[in-house]
Chain A
Amino acid sequence: MGVMVPFNPVEPFLRSERMPHIWCSGCGIGTTVNCFARALAESKLPLDKVAIVSGIGCTGRVAGYLNLDSFHTTHGRAIPFATGLKLANPELTVVVYSGDGDLIAIGGNHFIHAARRNVDIKVICINNFIYGMTGGQVAPTTPVGATATTAPYGCFERPFNLPYLAESSGAVYVARWTAYHVRYIAHSMADALRKKGFSFIEILAPCPTLYQRRNKLGDGLETMRYYKQHSVIRHGANTRDVNLHFQGEITLGKFVDIERPTLQQTMEQRFRQVLRDRYAG
């Protein structure tokens, strides 16, 4: 992909002193980072007040490459770290950027609870259907039939439908894109940056080194062709109906965009109502 080509308008958003990055060529993660930089520009947010939090994994390395206050935490725990950061410093815009295994396997409990509470954080999940960093093990997103190093005969467990999980847990903004849909990703990220509450964007991205190669799906470009040919954009689709299947049709779009008071708001409202002038908030 044309990931971080020298000079482009996203450069000021990156830590150029940390280049080259660690990602494989053709990896979809860098593409999404490029989109995120564009979204930051589009959002016009003061960058000093944007913090990024990642867990562990190939995607977990995103925090270290963005020229923001950044936190590379522990595997699965980016969301509760971000929750503490946001509550302690409400003027920050807090973005969690991590992988499918990190956010949904080891971190799945935190994911559903943060959505339930409507913590005002923006969660970007790079779903490559696999554990990249550790060498291609099966994930709770791996489609049935796809193989992984720890599912050598093909995955036989039903994967999560992430938008449905996010919506039913309480997210106020839910969207899904692929790494091919860069303009949509950037707009969607800018939307989420402006949105108050738990916002979730799933981005399907190629891991040519492991997932694509193992499953004989070609290189990064081949995957982009698949994304292009097999995606349909259905904004507002019922998230129940957006399951993914191995090399099947992909439903994309902005599925959820609703208003609901954030954790901070419900907390303050409750204390003000019950404690009145004793509330020191």
Chain B
Amino acid sequence: MSPPRPSAVLSGAHFMDGNHAACEGAIAAGANFAAGYPITPSTEIVERFAARAPLVGATFLQMEDELASSIAILGAAWGGAKAFTVTSGPGFSLMMEHIGFAAMTETPSVFVNVQRGGPSTGLPTLPAQADMMQARWGSHGDYEIIALCPNSPQECFNLMIDAFNFSEQYRNPVLLMMDESVGHMTEKVVIPPADQINIFPRRHTSKAPSEYLPFKPASDDVPEMARVGEGYRFHVTGLTHDEHGYPSMEWQTQQALVGRLVGKIRAHADDLTRTEEKQLEDAEIVLVAYGISSRVALWALQEAREEGLRVGLLRPIVVWPFPEKRIRELAQRVNAFVVVELNYGQMVREVERAAAGRARTILVPHAGGAVHPPESIVKVLREVGSWA
């Protein structure tokens, strides 16, 4: 596995939509394998990758369904590739078992979900942010996930690179949680020169096969990976396994393994936390919004400020792990959090939990299919402002 070929990186300024930018982000991150099954509104990402792959030394395969594409990428990852898959709504539901398998087997992998309205087939061509809790909890069993939420095409590019880097660093599946609006919005995207793109390399072991234990963690709780085909003769299983990678049905093994899988992310929550903050210095009311909703919320913030309301904005960029420490700090000094999201209340539960009663938490819900009318947010801000 290698960093991107400089010739593969389309350095320069472009106008492109979020889906195309996400694809270029993957290529810039050195992705050399993708598998997917077409689904609106995500398909442009794999269409572009299918066109680009043979030009940049990568492989694309359109699989027979999302079950296949979500595990083909894991096979490819163990084969040495940097691999990702792309989907939306129904396809994301089908991929859940393999997100758990990737977490259990610590397989570096990136899953992109361009969110559309649901449940079921829902609104194929229209935005929503209603898979946020599924992203966190959708596969069975205990595990931790890393998920990122871009709010612009530029960020689709940037966060795709971060997603790959986190997946290598933590050996965990990483989710890029886009939405239809961001995926189909066209803006300027600046792609840096290849040598300015930081790539976290695969954590290949340098130990000899005789000294190597495939699931014995290094100091940061993440084990090193062996290269397939090099004589390590390692075993990988989704069963509860010991440091040899062999199945063990003892509760002690379960505790050691699942404890470590969960702990390796939780212990680094501070390193992973990334937010964008606007006008929080004097804020009494904090808007919390991510993805496309953060842009609408920013519009509402400006409107409310003009009316003299002391409003700020907190935008989680890494949504999982949730930036709960930051919310907790703010809850000490602000009156209220107003959460704007395209669902009937998902991340708001996290905000409320972290605020722990120290500040009020109000949801501005929306069923999806469109973004919030900014006025609906301003109205809530006025009302919350009047409580003080």
B238 → A minimal CB distance (Å) = 6
Q: Determine whether the beta carbon of A87 is less than 8 Å from that of B71.
A: no
In the assembly, what is the distance between CA of A156 and CA of B383, in Å?
67
Decide if B220 is an interface residue (CB 8 Å cutoff): no
User: Chain A contacts of B230 at CB under 8 A?
Assistant: 48
Q: Determine whether the beta carbon of B55 is less than 8 Å from that of A81.
A: no
A residues 54-68 touching B (CB-CB < 8 Å) = 63-64, 67-68
B204 → A minimal CB distance (Å) = 14
B251 → A minimal CB distance (Å) = 19
Q: Determine whether the beta carbon of B229 is less than 8 Å from that of A275.
A: no
**Interface SS, B side:** mixed
Question: Which of B77-85, B118-126, B350-358 forms contacts with chain A?
Answer: B77-85
Q: Determine whether the beta carbon of B57 is less than 8 Å from that of A85.
A: no
Q: Determine whether the beta carbon of A87 is less than 8 Å from that of B76.
A: yes
User: Chain B contacts of A77 at CB under 8 A?
Assistant: 67-68, 71, 98
Q: Determine whether the beta carbon of A87 is less than 8 Å from that of B55.
A: no
Query: Chain A contact residues (Cβ within 8 angstroms of B): what range?
Result: 35 or more
- Most chain A CB inside 10 Å of its own CB: which residue of B78, B83, B246: B78
A235 → B minimal CB distance (Å) = 32
Decide if A6 is an interface residue (CB 8 Å cutoff): no
Q: Determine whether the beta carbon of A69 is less than 8 Å from that of B59.
A: no
Decide if A73 is an interface residue (CB 8 Å cutoff): yes
A residues 80-106 touching B (CB-CB < 8 Å) = 80-89, 91-92
Q: Determine whether the beta carbon of B238 is less than 8 Å from that of A64.
A: no
Contact A80-B71, Cβ < 8 Å, known A67-B233, A91-B229: yes
Query: Chain B contact residues (Cβ within 8 angstroms of A): what range?
Result: 35 or more
- Most chain A CB inside 10 Å of its own CB: which residue of B57, B61, B79, B98: B79
In the assembly, what is the distance between CA of A275 and CA of B51, in Å?
11
Q: Determine whether the beta carbon of A72 is less than 8 Å from that of B237.
A: yes
Q: Determine whether the beta carbon of B75 is less than 8 Å from that of A84.
A: yes
B179 → A minimal CB distance (Å) = 28
Decide if A228 is an interface residue (CB 8 Å cutoff): no
Interface residues of A (CB under 8 A from B): 15, 18, 48-49, 51, 53, 63-64, 67-74, 76-77, 80-89, 91-92, 109-110, 113, 267, 271, 275, 278-281
Interface residues of B (CB under 8 A from A): 5, 8, 32-33, 35, 54-57, 59, 61, 63-65, 67-69, 71-81, 83, 97-98, 101, 228-239, 246-247
Of the A-B pairs whose beta carbons lie under 8 Å apart in the complex, a sample of 17, sorted by A's number, is A15-B235, A64-B246, A70-B233, A70-B235, A71-B75, A72-B235, A72-B238, A74-B71, A80-B67, A81-B72, A83-B68, A85-B79, A113-B63, A113-B64, A278-B55, A280-B56, A280-B57
Instruction: Give 12 A-B pairs besides A73-B71, A80-B72, A279-B55 with Cβ atoms closer than 8 angstroms.
Output: A63-B235, A73-B74, A74-B238, A84-B61, A84-B71, A85-B76, A88-B77, A91-B229, A109-B65, A113-B63, A271-B54, A281-B54
